[in-house]
Amino acid sequence: MEKIERLPLGQSQADKCRSGWARWVGTPPGLPPELASKFMLGLHGGKTIKDMTHYGDDHICSHDRFQKHCELNPEWGVEARRLSLLNFKTKASIASPKRGLKFEFCSSGRHRMEGDNVWQSKTRPTHRF
């Protein structure tokens, strides 16, 4: 009977963890210049530090490595934190429930949101209907 050769279906979670760990073995502390510039481009593009240090689509490095890079390059770290705070405030203002209080027209665009056309809920004071 002939043995069937099994093809790998992809990397296991352990292989992914090992490859992520092996990526940083032997590198000096902090971020290499190309990753530091990629990190700064992400901040200029509207990302926050958390977006790029936590695992996801925008992940660049761990938070510890980012912290170490900020210790080694304090001016870079101050600028990175300033940009991240601005991006965070922008994201928070977009997602705020109070954002709806600033609308001039209703959601369909037919009625002005003033006078008798506005009703505020007593249970949800930040929403207008």
Residue-number span of the structural domain to which 33 is assigned: 28-95
89 and 101, same structural domain?
no
116 and 88, same structural domain?
no
74 and 118, same structural domain?
no
Q: Rounded to an integer, what distance in angstroms lies between the CA atom of residue 123 and that of residue 63? A: 40
pTM of the predicted model, to two decimals? 0.62
75 and 104, same structural domain?
no
Q: Identify the pLDDT of residue 21.
A: 72
- Residue 88 predicted with pLDDT over 60: yes
Q: Identify the pLDDT of residue 45.
A: 93
- Residue 123 predicted with pLDDT over 80: no
* Structure tokens, 78: 């101050």
Q: Rounded to an integer, what distance in angstroms lies between the CA atom of residue 66 and that of residue 43? A: 13
114 and 72, same structural domain?
no
101 and 89, same structural domain?
no
Q: Could you give the number of structural domains in the chain?
A: 2
> Using CB atoms within 10 A of its CB, is residue 58 exposed (0-12), middle (13-18) or buried (19+)?
middle
17 within a domain of the structure (yes/no): no
Q: Over the Cα atoms of the chain, what is R_g?
A: 24
